[in-house]
A and B are shown apart, each in its own frame.
Chain A
Amino acid sequence: MDVLWGTRAALTVREVSVRLTERDLAHTTVMTVLDRLAKKGFARRERDGRAWRYRPAATREAYVTELMLTALNQTGDRSAALARFARSVSGDEAKVLRGALEEIEGDGGS
């Protein structure tokens, strides 16, 4: 997927394989992975003669944003899919927390 994100053009399986030299993957392996990515909707593919050309369905940033929005529970549904460590707060509570932080650091840090 990083290879697809790394270029502007749509790539064929062979072109992806060439760019993955350090991994030394079989042509069929790359083909299977790309096919799976396309089925899951992460990559779009188009016919180019006898080969498929693949391009990412969305930018890496868009997926990172989706990931973080779900993680921070901003998507609107309380799906309870994830358990988040803490959320950030505002107003008086933030003031209380800043006070607590100063107290902790005042004690010599942790």
Chain B
Amino acid sequence: MAGPADAALLAAVAVGSVRGSAALVAARWPHRSPAAAIVLWQALGLAGGLAAVGALLSLGVPPHSASIADGLARMASGAVSGHLIGSGHAALPALLRLSSLITGLLLLGVLCWVLVAASVTVLYARRRHRVLLALLAHGDPKAPGALVVDHPTAAAYCLPGLRSRIVVSVGALDLLRPAELAAVLEHERAHLRERHDLVLLPFTALRRAFGWSRICSQAQQSVALLIEMLADDRALRVLSPRALAGALARFGTAGSECAPAGSLGMSHPSGEGELAARVSRLLQPAPRLPLPAVAGICCGATLLAAVPLALLALPA
């Protein structure tokens, strides 16, 4: 039965997701197992969004609906025949039910829209970037498989997509030793291979839409750092941690010396200490999380995402 009990449970899941996110931002273990932490972040985001929408909808559907989905279906057919609110003795005043229903549907619409808008923006930005690269970049035997841009500032990045590219600047080629450059390229290849950009996209979308919310910014920042650590770990499978740490340290300390004045000043108040954390993680690795702990986190994450889904769709 959809009703106040469901709404209370869903609201609890939504609040719990926000609390859980705050705890995850502060936790230390994610650096020891970035992949598990990313799965947990995704579950928290999904559960939080679904539960918030679900809580509002469950207050809005007519009482005695078998489930929220069933309630919505009944209301839709009711609307066709002119009885939007439904009949029978209501636990809540009709006006309150209608307004919470509308709020729920609006929230769902906003969340979907935010994701679509962010995806479209990203696709356009990438297409423009790909065209510019085609006009400006060239290959270089020093960086096999990568495109080189003539600019003195050190930069290395990847352009994800179906026709993905790895790009390094001349500044980066000058800065890095051969082993370090190989580590950077391997790191970027890991990003492209595992489509880390798709992992980050929903979190970036949320941050763009709800920039005022601290938890949205923190979530995006955490996930961004975690995918970097994940790519670091992948690069370590073929290369030494020293090469990668050296590349990171050189990039971090290079900016002030070789950025042309005025054009590419670097100041990032956010993300303080992230680079140092990645370097120290490579040089003094903490033990990985034990397998049972990782398995537990993944099970917990699945359960977390499953609860609001079940409450939304399945008859109680």
Cβ-closest chain B residue relative to A107: B242
CB distance from B302 to the nearest CB of A (A): 25
Number of chain A interface residues as a range: 35 or more
| Distance in angstroms between the alpha carbons of A81 and B130 in the assembled complex | 11
| Distance in angstroms between the alpha carbons of A95 and B260 in the assembled complex | 21
A103 within 8 A of B: yes
Are B263 and A101 within 8 A (Cβ)? Answer: no
CB distance from A21 to the nearest CB of B (A): 20
Q: Mark B140-173, 1 if CB is under 8 A from A, else 0.
A: 0000000001110111111110000001010000
B273 within 8 A of A: yes
Cβ-closest chain B residue relative to A105: B246
Are B252 and A63 within 8 A (Cβ)? Answer: no
| Distance in angstroms between the alpha carbons of A40 and B134 in the assembled complex | 13
Are A67 and B133 within 8 A (Cβ)? Answer: yes
Asked whether A100 and B267 contact (CB < 8 A) given A82-B159, A93-B252, A94-B252, the answer is no
B31 within 8 A of A: no
A27 within 8 A of B: no
Are B250 and A101 within 8 A (Cβ)? Answer: yes
Cβ-closest chain A residue relative to B259: A88
| Distance in angstroms between the alpha carbons of A34 and B217 in the assembled complex | 43
Are A110 and B242 within 8 A (Cβ)? Answer: yes
CB distance from B26 to the nearest CB of A (A): 20
Asked whether A85 and B150 contact (CB < 8 A) given A60-B136, A80-B197, A100-B279, the answer is no
| Distance in angstroms between the alpha carbons of A79 and B225 in the assembled complex | 16
| Distance in angstroms between the alpha carbons of A43 and B169 in the assembled complex | 25
User: What residues of chain B lie closer than 8 Å to A72, measured between beta carbons?
Assistant: 153, 155, 264, 266
Are A64 and B149 within 8 A (Cβ)? Answer: yes
B245 within 8 A of A: yes
Asked whether A85 and B129 contact (CB < 8 A) given A80-B200, A97-B276, A109-B177, the answer is no
Are B207 and A78 within 8 A (Cβ)? Answer: yes
B125 within 8 A of A: yes
Are A88 and B242 within 8 A (Cβ)? Answer: no
A66 within 8 A of B: yes
Are B273 and A67 within 8 A (Cβ)? Answer: no
B271 within 8 A of A: yes
User: What residues of chain A lie closer than 8 Å to B136, measured between beta carbons?
Assistant: 60, 63-64, 67
Cβ-closest chain B residue relative to A2: B135
| Distance in angstroms between the alpha carbons of A81 and B161 in the assembled complex | 9
User: What residues of chain B lie closer than 8 Å to A77, measured between beta carbons?
Assistant: 121, 208
A86 within 8 A of B: yes
Are B253 and A94 within 8 A (Cβ)? Answer: yes
Cβ-closest chain A residue relative to B208: A78
Are B249 and A100 within 8 A (Cβ)? Answer: yes
**CB < 8 Å neighbour of B150 from A1, A64, A94, A103:** A64
Specify which of A42, A94, A97, A109 lies most central, judged by the most chain B CB atoms within 10 Å of its CB.
A97
Mark out the residues of chain B between 239 and 262 whose CB falls within 8 Å of any chain A CB in the assembled complex.
240, 242-243, 245-256, 259
Are A104 and B208 within 8 A (Cβ)? Answer: no
| Distance in angstroms between the alpha carbons of A46 and B204 in the assembled complex | 42
Specify which of B167, B248, B250, B279 lies most central, judged by the most chain A CB atoms within 10 Å of its CB.
B279
| Distance in angstroms between the alpha carbons of A100 and B243 in the assembled complex | 12
List 12 interface pairs A-B (beta carbons < 8 Å), by A numbering: A1-B135, A68-B153, A78-B207, A78-B208, A81-B126, A83-B188, A84-B156, A86-B247, A88-B251, A88-B259, A100-B280, A104-B242
Q: Which residues of B contact A (CB under 8 A)?
A: 118, 121-122, 125-126, 129, 131-133, 135-136, 149-151, 153-160, 167, 169, 177, 179-180, 184, 187-188, 191, 196-197, 200-201, 204, 207-208, 220, 227-228, 231, 240, 242-243, 245-256, 259, 263-264, 266-268, 271-273, 275-276, 278-280, 283
Q: Which residues of A contact B (CB under 8 A)?
A: 1, 40, 42, 60, 63-72, 74, 77-90, 93-94, 96-98, 100-101, 103-105, 107, 109-110
Which 10 pairs show the lowest CB-CB distances between chains A and B?
Answer: A88-B255, A86-B251, A80-B204, A81-B125, A85-B156, A101-B249, A97-B252, A97-B249, A84-B157, A110-B242
